[in-house]
Chain A
């Protein structure tokens, strides 16, 4: 029989809290305090030459056209990248789930882009898309597709497309892994039953695979949106937000305002907005995880 204290808390519960406490303290230290500091800075309460509560940074966010463009860029960038990740991740997961020889080798190869740090990935792709003497232009010109170097990263649309493509390549293995795990958890009997009912391959995919992947799909989607919203290295390494600020996303803007111009309050306000946005889109994921845990 468990020892129950007067407060109703069991000894086992206390042990549980004690075991969790170090991790909780660490989280408070490395996440809670910086987050609190960012909120305080956004209201000009700390790290300011003239501290005092002010909403000026939030007012500036509302009126700043650069911030509006950056939000729009972030939405388009995240949508494009996540769409590529889901399409590519699902396609490769389906291929790797099939009974093929050397499956493990292909799985390792498919994972390779995920092993490239995002900043390094950005720099590699920048060199590849460099007008002079980038590899992409060398192929395009030698292949007769253009007679002069294409300014991939100097044209806003091309730069955006190149960026989405590059990050699409680098980040899809994460989605692929989640979906592959989902595919492997679908009982084979369902496919066998479908086959016995005369279902064709595409019908099995539509009526067996997709419904069973729904939860994994949502988890992958939410995690990827969160991940891409805060992605910094690829964008900074590849275009640094240019040309102009055509490819500037929220994380890059925050970095520049904080570390390059020392506008700490304004940068913190932008970071708080980003955090609130990510928290909002995390809710479906959190609810789903809690349902699974329950």
Chain B
């Protein structure tokens, strides 16, 4: 029996050694295998942003050799549907970016991770103190933080300085009356006797980006879509009516906005600017690099200039524009939350924020970067943008906002198309928004 016993012991020893070796090799393999994070962003579809982001990922991977980033582009118009469908199914990218519009919906539905524990580890309120408090309202609920703000810019008036000069316009419009007059002067045939091929302005009427553009006109007139408490529609106010009619007059009476206005999306509006089809448009800082890329012959960096959103005669100060914020979020079902947080922290650190300005012309959601980065301080456009942050506000931060925005957009389109009278369209928008808010309150 002894030999058998000895052989059993030997077998056990060999087995243990093999097990230990296997465990070690598995452990080593686990340490060596890099974590792959998927990062999704609509800006990856823009060549300028794509380049900039990929350079940042390369730097991140150099600093974190155990993490790989797999970038995934998504079309802006399809972004929210793609994310919500994937996240609902427990899938989707590990890290993704959103603008303000859907954030409250995503928080309400539990489609973004609560980042409070990571934030606490970095220093909590002290770490967050560098971000503009308004941006933290977007990504949090007062107690928890669900996203980290990245870039922050206000909407402004972009104008082609050459086209204004050619039309005999000495300076950009400061009031809505001047804006309308200038648009008339800019609307003409570029070739004598030819058809009209140049218009004063355009406005985005496709769903993605509509609220950013229309809201500046509404706010520039002193109105807003909702009451300050976000409980009721504010479309029954005289200023809202004035702004609504102003846009319709420019489209239908003056015909100083581009034909086919109902189909113009954010990219289309920038293409109109890039190809000199329009002389003015409401855009923000992202437009310069994108338009320069679309049409290098335009010399966009020198020819396109910016100016504050016009206001009513005599108006001083007050909210006249809308803020655009891009923030980063983590999928609550990610298998690699630590790695995902590392990426979010990296993409929103002060050094990267400076890079977003240099590459993409966007201001930072960090106060310190805008206040101290010399390239921002020395650039007149950037200084104007920073100054306009004071006169801009976010669209209402409520989950119902996308539906409210869409109800208004459809009625505006109906008024443009003539299927509803102006009064009926504005009245319908008002009552539909009231109904949406009432349903939400139940």
Which positions in A face B, CB cutoff 8 Å? 126, 130-132, 134, 141, 147-156, 240, 242-246, 256, 259-263
Contact = CB atoms under 8 A, between A and B. Distances in A.
A256 B406 contact: yes
Nearest to A257: B403
B406 A131 contact: no
Contact of B262 (A141, A149, A154, A261): A154
Given A151-B262, A240-B207, A156 B419 contact: yes
* A154, A240, A260 — most chain B CB neighbours (10 Å): A154
B414 A246 contact: yes
B410 A242 contact: yes
A246 B417 contact: yes
B196 A148 contact: yes
A154 B81 contact: no
Contacts of A126: 263
Contacts of A154: 259-263, 416-417
A245 B417 CA distance: 11
B89 to A, nearest CB: 13
Chain B interface bracket (under 10, 10 to 19, 20 to 34, 35 or more): 20 to 34
B246 to A, nearest CB: 19
A261 B417 contact: no
Q: Is the interface of B mostly helix, strand, loop or mixed?
A: helix
Interface string B46-82: 0000000000000000000000000000000000110
Interface in B335-359: none
Nearest to A153: B263
B84 A262 contact: yes
A263 B403 contact: yes
Interface string B399-410: 100110010001
A151 B195 contact: no
18 contacts: A126-B263, A130-B263, A131-B258, A131-B259, A132-B258, A134-B260, A141-B195, A148-B195, A151-B262, A153-B262, A153-B263, A154-B260, A243-B262, A244-B420, A259-B84, A260-B402, A260-B403, A261-B403
Given A261-B402, A261-B403, A262-B109, A246 B419 contact: yes
A130 B403 contact: no
Contacts of A152: 260
* B195, B259, B261 — most chain A CB neighbours (10 Å): B259
Contacts of B263: 126, 130-131, 153-154, 242
Contact of B417 (A141, A147, A150, A155): A155
* A150, A152, A262 — most chain B CB neighbours (10 Å): A262
Interface in B276-292: 277
B259 A149 contact: yes
Given A149-B259, A151-B262, A262 B105 contact: yes
B49 to A, nearest CB: 23
A72 to B, nearest CB: 13
B411 interface: yes
A246 B417 CA distance: 9
B392 interface: no
A149 B260 contact: yes
B81 A151 contact: no
Nearest to A141: B195
Given A240-B206, A243-B416, A244-B413, 10 more contacts: A132-B259, A147-B195, A151-B262, A153-B260, A155-B418, A242-B413, A244-B411, A246-B414, A261-B402, A262-B109
Contact of A260 (B81, B109, B413): B81
Interface string B264-299: 000000001000010000000000000000000000
B85 interface: yes
A243 B259 contact: no
A2 B435 CA distance: 67
A76 to B, nearest CB: 14
Contacts of A150: 259
Given A148-B195, A240-B207, A260 B262 contact: no
- Top 3 A-B residue pairs of the complex, sorted by shortest distance between their CB atoms: A131-B260, A244-B414, A154-B262
Contacts of B402: 260-261
Nearest to A261: B403
B85 A259 contact: yes
A245 B410 contact: yes
Nearest to A152: B260
Contact of B259 (A147, A151, A262): A151
A122 to B, nearest CB: 12
A202 B120 CA distance: 84
Nearest to A259: B81
A147 B197 CA distance: 11
B260 A151 contact: yes
Contacts of B419: 156, 243-244, 246
A244 B84 CA distance: 25
Contacts of B410: 242, 244-245
A151 B413 CA distance: 13
